[in-house]
Amino acid sequence: MDVSAKPKLDDVARVAGVSTATVSRCLNEPAKVTSKTRERVLSAVEALGYTPNFGGRALASRKTHTVGAVIPTMENAIFARGLQAFQEALAEAGVNLLVASSGYDAEREAAQIRALVGRGADGILLIGTARPEKTRAFLKRFATPCVIAWSIGGPGDVYVGFDNVAAARAIAERVIAFGHRRIAMISGITAMNDRAAGRIAGVRAALSEAGLSPEGLVVEEVRYAFDEAGVALHRLMAAPEPPTAIICGNDVLGVGAIVAARRRGLTVPCDLSITGFDDIDIAALVEPGLTTVHVPHRRMGLAAAKALLDLIEGQPQDRHVSIETSIIERGSLGPAPRSSSIGR
Amino acid sequence: MDVSAKPKLDDVARVAGVSTATVSRCLNEPAKVTSKTRERVLSAVEALGYTPNFGGRALASRKTHTVGAVIPTMENAIFARGLQAFQEALAEAGVNLLVASSGYDAEREAAQIRALVGRGADGILLIGTARPEKTRAFLKRFATPCVIAWSIGGPGDVYVGFDNVAAARAIAERVIAFGHRRIAMISGITAMNDRAAGRIAGVRAALSEAGLSPEGLVVEEVRYAFDEAGVALHRLMAAPEPPTAIICGNDVLGVGAIVAARRRGLTVPCDLSITGFDDIDIAALVEPGLTTVHVPHRRMGLAAAKALLDLIEGQPQDRHVSIETSIIERGSLGPAPRSSSIGR
DNA sequence: AAATGAAATGTAAGCGCTTACAAAAAATCC
DNA sequence: GGATTTTTTGTAAGCGCTTACATTTCATTT
């Protein structure tokens, strides 16, 4: 026997002295096989170091026990915690996870979805709702089970998310309550990102409600990166009437802004208040701690996994899961300074 | 035509009025097909929304255009940058990446490797060298192309890594040069982690070389998490003769230690010096900046991808790539305090 | 002990694709 | 123009596995 060749089902069958069907059953539905033959087969499997070939199995059974997730980016920790929980819950159910990233690009997202479907993903996790009709149509056409996370989806969608508008509005209200009137935003890029857009809308809504002009809100759109936040902060503070509070679209931007403010000689929150969104690890590590919106990413990831698995099984379920967020006060948000001459 | 069913190669062939072989060639080796028929085929593909079935393809071609990576953890950023680069380089070559995590557990690593091989991964990336003989044997037996990263492997291995011992020794020498004599370490858990073990060995070597007792080095082994570093720091500083410098096994521990020190009322580096390892994002964000070993993760990831792809193609290549590290001074390492009464 | 039914096992037909080989068509040469 | 080479396309045999169905085995009943 050629030891270097991968053993196949046939080989196992021959060694165990049974048919291929029996070996297959032994591996997939052990109950349908006598304990005696099962033993023989399993020891043959062990002896040969047999590992079933995924392609063959997928082809024959039309099941891959694999789901895919297309996330915008792996570059920072935004999606890490939620995805980790998602993966853990899937693993529990014996399902594998394939992760792909789109770079916030609609074409790439579509391509990745196609690839995942081609790989036979039994279901797919997508982030947010912003995608072209074409992509939606593709998903619908092949009836691919699909769960949307991180956002509240439409009535036709299955989603496990949170209300970005309401959460942003809540933290903006908090900022306003601290007496801030000149408020600016450092946001993620809103193209193909409904979360970023929703958070801006939420802040505008809070301003409007407080009798402040929502159009007056200066928004810097940048990539989610520490240094980009710094550049944006410098631009904002160079204005003739710089803001006294900056609401950041997420914690990467928030932490970047805090660091940049400090390097600019500003004291947070005395001179300038800064808030974030997500409550990832580093929000608690910077000095001062970042006041932010806590998103229970793990809970969301677990719920998303459950929803997707149920959907694949065709079981009845909650098609709409809304996750509550909360505000964590850490110190980067404080009262508006009396004099507003800073930065002039 | 049933629109809900996934179109197959046959369907495309029928619509385009050619044979299945032509369609297949069109997709895989477009050069071998007239531009005229290629056009016809591609428009049929487009019209049907055809996506090749991965299982079928893998089965027939015995190639999956997929490689796997088993990394110890996805929970923190340690492997993120390198893996991202690895993935990008693979994508360039049209190869997909499957990521699995082992949680620093030998059994889980072995299981993940088997799963990846079963899925037909054309090759595998592993982190470090610490694994049982059984796992090695499995890899060797099925001649799975395999590259080791993050460490210097054995002569029989193909690796793209750096010398953890030398790098740790270098930064320890730097610490000693600053006058520190009471030095402690907060290390990752060394079981199944040759990088962590190597870094301790490097520090011991530097101590020894400087005429200090390597056995005297107090090492706290903890998981790579911010708060674990804090707990370890408190334990270290509670000793009758607390260290004046703490060398941390990586930046997660280093940053955690800086934050914990600050919360303990210690000024870094005046009261206590702290160093890290890796040079990830947050090392530059904490106050003071973390003095650390810079590891060119991206370069390592790219080189690892190249090595693995070459290995899969069977091309001659560098089997041993050694990546140079350097020390980045940021401020968390300073001269040893004159009086050493701190913490007593 | 023969008849009956249930449980265990075997047989063989694909799953959707690639690819060696054969056949046909087009391009080149004398 | 026919012979030869080159390029393009088609035919058909698997790749390794699952599973419907057929067959065998074995326990149970009469």
Which token pair is B215?
């056995």
Q: For residues B118 and A6, what is the distance between their CA atoms, to the nearest angstrom?
A: 10
Instruction: With beta carbons under 8 A apart, name residues in chain B contacting A96.
Output: 115
Q: Which of A130, A126, A136, A139 is nearest to A79 (CA)?
A: A126
Confidence check: pLDDT of A344 > 70: no
User: Coil, strand or helix: which one is A279?
Assistant: coil
For an interface test with B, give the residue of A45, A46, A59 to mutate (most B CBs within 10 A).
A59
pLDDT attached to residue B273: 98
**CA dist list (Å): A75 to A101, A139, A170, B43, B223:** 10, 26, 28, 36, 23
Instruction: With beta carbons under 8 A apart, name residues in chain B contacting A274.
Output: none
Q: For residues B283 and B288, what is the distance between their CA atoms, to the nearest angstrom?
A: 9
Instruction: With beta carbons under 8 A apart, name residues in chain B contacting A53.
Output: 59, 118, 120
Domain count, chain B: 3
A174 and A291 fall within a common domain: yes
B221 and B140 fall within a common domain: no
A307 in any annotated domain: yes
> Any atom of strand C under 7 A from CB of B59?
yes
- Averaged pLDDT for residues A239-262: 96
A121 and A16 fall within a common domain: no
Write out residues in chain B with pLDDT < 50, as ranges: 1-3, 340-344
- CA dihedral for B226, A252, B168, B273, sign (positive or negative): negative
The more confident residue out of A331 and B114 is A331
B174 and B284 fall within a common domain: yes
With bands split at pLDDT 50, 70 and 90, how would you rate the model's confidence at A49?
confident
First to last CA, chain A: 82
Confidence check: pLDDT of A203 > 80: yes
Mean per-residue pLDDT of chain A: 91
With bands split at pLDDT 50, 70 and 90, how would you rate the model's confidence at A101?
confident
Instruction: With beta carbons under 8 A apart, name residues in chain A contacting B118.
Output: 51-54
Instruction: With beta carbons under 8 A apart, name residues in chain B contacting A119.
Output: 54
B217 and B276 fall within a common domain: yes
Check residues 26 to 65 of chain A and report those whose beta carbon is under 7 Å from nucleic acid strand D.
27-28, 50, 52-53, 55-57, 59-61, 63
> Any atom of strand C under 7 A from CB of B9?
yes
Q: For residues B13 and B23, what is the distance between their CA atoms, to the nearest angstrom?
A: 6
Does the beta-carbon distance from B118 to A226 stay under 8 Å?
Answer: no
Burial of A268 (0-12, 13-18, 19+ CB in 10 A): buried
Minimum-distance CB partner of A226 among B74, B77, B285: B285
Amino acid whose CA is nearest the C1' of C13: A60
pLDDT attached to residue A341: 45
Q: At what angle do helices A35-48 and A9-16 cross, to 10 degrees?
A: 120
Minimum-distance CB partner of A118 among B51, B119, B142: B51
> Any atom of strand D under 7 A from CB of A137?
no
Bases of chain C with protein Cβ within 7 A: 8-12, 14-20
Nearest chain B residue to A230, by CA: B285
Instruction: Supply the range of the domain harboring residue B38.
Output: 9-52
> Any atom of strand D under 7 A from CB of A120?
no
Does the beta-carbon distance from A96 to B115 stay under 8 Å?
Answer: yes
Nearest chain A residue to B289, by CA: A259
A97 and A197 fall within a common domain: no
Does the beta-carbon distance from A55 to B56 stay under 8 Å?
Answer: yes
Q: Any bridge partners for residue A218, and if so which?
A: A184
pLDDT attached to residue B339: 61
Q: Protein A31 CA to nucleic acid D28 C1', in Å? A: 22
Burial of A342 (0-12, 13-18, 19+ CB in 10 A): middle
Q: What CATH number does residue A177 fall under?
A: 3.40.50.2300
Q: What CATH number does residue A48 fall under?
A: 1.10.260.40
Q: At which of A295, A315, A334 does a domain end?
A: A295
B3 in any annotated domain: no
> Any atom of strand C under 7 A from CB of A37?
yes
For an interface test with B, give the residue of A282, A290, A297, A298 to mutate (most B CBs within 10 A).
A282
pLDDT attached to residue B330: 96
A181 and A207 fall within a common domain: yes
B169 in any annotated domain: yes
B303 and B287 fall within a common domain: no
A30 in any annotated domain: yes
- Averaged pLDDT for residues A266-295: 95
Q: At what angle do helices B194-209 and B164-177 cross, to 10 degrees?
A: 40
A314 and A245 fall within a common domain: no
pLDDT attached to residue A178: 97
* DSSP strand pairing (A96-101 vs A123-127): unpaired
Q: Protein A94 CA to nucleic acid D24 C1', in Å? A: 35
pLDDT attached to residue A4: 55
For an interface test with A, give the residue of B282, B286, B290, B330 to mutate (most A CBs within 10 A).
B282
B343 in any annotated domain: no
pLDDT attached to residue B202: 98
B183 and B288 fall within a common domain: yes
B331 in any annotated domain: no
A243 in any annotated domain: yes
B175 and B272 fall within a common domain: yes
Does the beta-carbon distance from B49 to A286 stay under 8 Å?
Answer: no
Confidence check: pLDDT of A132 > 90: yes
A261 and A196 fall within a common domain: yes
A239 in any annotated domain: yes
